[in-house]
């Protein structure tokens, strides 16, 4: 029973699919786990051929049929047509319920409903449905969802970002100063300008000292090493400039850029909102 989609649904679907792939790709970059291939499928095809999709990560499109609890609902291909079966969706991180009748896209893993299996896969989660619902979907095909995208393109299952600790906030301010200080220093080095270098080199030295303390508290020895090198290089730059040894100044200053890159590759991540964070 192939059902033709209206153009609106096709547009929504295409847009959703692209957004989902982007979101999944971003997460895949950050998580070391291998990226699963995302299989697009309609809710009705999934119900018709469940065994084709068991264990796979799918992007399902369809209509919200019934809200079952704060983190679960059922889906159907077409709200206007009555159907015997519907698809059970469990979204442990659901922040807001979708609207019944809305055409949505859900990304998640296809399973057969079994409470023990669900608990094993989503450890921090407690299933919040009534016994009637448990009974109704026992052994039925279901989707353990990580994304629930509504018609406004909002991912209702996206947990708000973990807030920064006060230490991370302070460190972010340090890095925001490292960047202009480093840019100024390079200008001063290129122009052999003692006034600029004698101001920026000690500033960078202080900022790298703060960086070192931050990573010492986190027990990240590689970062501590790079920050310590940063302090030493900043000091060497200042000393060489004061002695008018500009070729030494340039040699030392060139090493700073490598430190930035090495530490960022190991300890910096770009969050989904585009801001930088310290890797956990
Ligand atoms: C020892 C590790 C380390 C070194 C060395 C280091 N950084 Fe960073 N930097 C980080 C981490 C971790 C972050 C992410 C934390 C954050 O931005 O809150 C970061 C963030 C940044 C940011 C983004 C700030 C923001 O939030 O907008 C800039 C810009 C930056 N670093 C520039 C530099 C430059 C330039 C250098 C070298 C001169 C450098 N960093 C050296 C660890 C380091």
- Token pair in block for residue 64: 């919200």
Which residue, by CA, sits nearest to atom 1 of ligand 1?
A: 223
Distance of CA 227 to the CA centre of its chain: 27
Q: Is the CB of 200 under 6 A from ligand 1?
A: no
High-pLDDT (> 90) share of the chain, %? 75
Residues 6+ apart with CB under 8 A from 67: 73, 97, 98, 100
How far is Cα 119 from Cα 147, in angstroms, rounded to an integer? 18
How far is Cα 238 from Cα 217, in angstroms, rounded to an integer? 28
Which residue, by CA, sits nearest to atom 3 of ligand 1?
A: 263
User: At residue 159, does pLDDT exceed 60?
Assistant: yes
Which residue, by CA, sits nearest to atom 2 of ligand 1?
A: 263
The pLDDT of residue 280 is: 83
How far is Cα 154 from Cα 65, in angstroms, rounded to an integer? 19
> Once rounded to an integer, what is the mean pLDDT over residues 252-274?
92
Which residue, by CA, sits nearest to atom 27 of ligand 1?
A: 176
Q: Is the CB of 187 under 6 A from ligand 1?
A: no
Lowest mean pLDDT among 28-37, 78-87, 165-174, 270-279: 28-37
Contacts 24+ apart (CB under 8 A), 162-166: 164/277
Q: Is the CB of 264 under 6 A from ligand 1?
A: yes
Angle at 216 between CA 171 and CA 237, to 5 degrees: 70
Could you tell me which of 155, 154, 130 has the C-alpha nearest to residue 68?
130
Burial of 147 (0-12, 13-18, 19+ CB in 10 A): buried
Q: Is the CB of 134 under 6 A from ligand 1?
A: no
Residue with more model confidence, 15 or 158: 158
Residue with more model confidence, 47 or 231: 231
For the chain, the average pLDDT equals: 87
Angle at 237 between CA 233 and CA 239, to 5 degrees: 115
Q: Is the CB of 178 under 6 A from ligand 1?
A: yes
Residue 260 Cα to ligand 1 middle (Å): 7
Q: How confident is the model at residue 33 (pLDDT cuts 50, 70, 90)?
A: very low
Q: Is the CB of 276 under 6 A from ligand 1?
A: yes
Residues 6+ apart with CB under 8 A from 231: 205, 208, 209, 212
Output the furthest CA–CA distance in the chain (Å, rounded): 85
Q: Is the CB of 165 under 6 A from ligand 1?
A: no
Q: Is the CB of 255 under 6 A from ligand 1?
A: no
The pLDDT of residue 106 is: 97
Distances (CA, A) of 136 to 83, 85, 101, 114, 152: 15, 11, 21, 12, 31
With beta carbons less than 8 A apart as the criterion, state whether 9 and 103 touch: yes
Contacts 24+ apart (CB under 8 A), 120-124: 122/90, 122/92, 124/92
The best mutation among 231, 268, 270, 279 to test binding of ligand 1, ranked by most ligand atoms within 8 Å of the C-beta, falls on 268
Report pLDDT digits (tens) over 6-29: 555 554 445 545 555 455 444 444
Residue 244 Cα to ligand 1 middle (Å): 30
The pLDDT of residue 23 is: 52
Q: How many CB atoms lie within 10 A of CB 115?
A: 11
The pLDDT of residue 9 is: 54
With beta carbons less than 8 A apart as the criterion, state whether 168 and 109 touch: no
Q: Is the CB of 224 under 6 A from ligand 1?
A: no
The pLDDT of residue 36 is: 61
- Token pair in block for residue 8: 């609106």
Q: How confident is the model at residue 227 (pLDDT cuts 50, 70, 90)?
A: very high
Report the atom number in ligand 1 closest to the C-alpha of 269. Answer: 14
Residue 175 Cα to ligand 1 middle (Å): 5
Q: How confident is the model at residue 81 (pLDDT cuts 50, 70, 90)?
A: low
Lowest mean pLDDT among 1-15, 80-94, 168-182: 1-15
How far is Cα 210 from Cα 84, in angstroms, rounded to an integer? 64
Residues 6+ apart with CB under 8 A from 278: 168, 171, 218, 267, 268, 269
């Amino acid at each position: 029973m192939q059902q033709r989609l209206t153009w609106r649904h096709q547009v929504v679907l295409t847009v959703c699919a692209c957004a989902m792939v982007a979101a999944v790709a971003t997460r895949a970059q950050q998580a070391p786990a291998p990226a699963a291939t995302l299989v697009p499928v309609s809710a009705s095809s999934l119900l018709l051929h469940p065994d084709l999709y068991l264990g796979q990560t799918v992007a399902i499109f369809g209509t919200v049929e019934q809200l079952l609890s704060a983190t679960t609902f059922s889906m159907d291909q077409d709200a206007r047509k009555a159907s015997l079966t519907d698809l059970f969706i469990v979204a442990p991180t659901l922040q807001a319920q979708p609207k019944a009748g809305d055409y949505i896209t859900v990304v998640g893993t296809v399973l057969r409903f079994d409470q023990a299996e669900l608990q094993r896969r989503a450890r921090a989660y407690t299933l919040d449905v009534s016994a009637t619902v448990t009974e109704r979907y026992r052994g039925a095909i279901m989707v353990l969802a990580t994304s629930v995208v509504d018609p406004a393109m909002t991912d209702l299952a996206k947990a708000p970002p973990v807030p920064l600790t006060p230490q991370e906030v302070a460190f972010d301010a340090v890095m925001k100063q490292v960047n202009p200080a480093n840019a100024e220093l390079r200008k001063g080095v290129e122009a052999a300008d003692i006034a600029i270098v004698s101001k920026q080199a000690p500033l960078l030295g202080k900022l790298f000292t703060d960086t070192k303390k931050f990573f010492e508290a986190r027990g990240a020895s590689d970062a501590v090493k790079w920050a310590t090198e940063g302090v030493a290089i900043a000091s060497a730059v200042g000393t060489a400039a004061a002695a008018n040894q500009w070729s030494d100044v340039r040699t030392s200053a060139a090493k700073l850029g490598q430190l930035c890159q090495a530490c960022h590759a190991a300890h910096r991540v770009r969050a989904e909102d585009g801001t930088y964070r310290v890797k956990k």
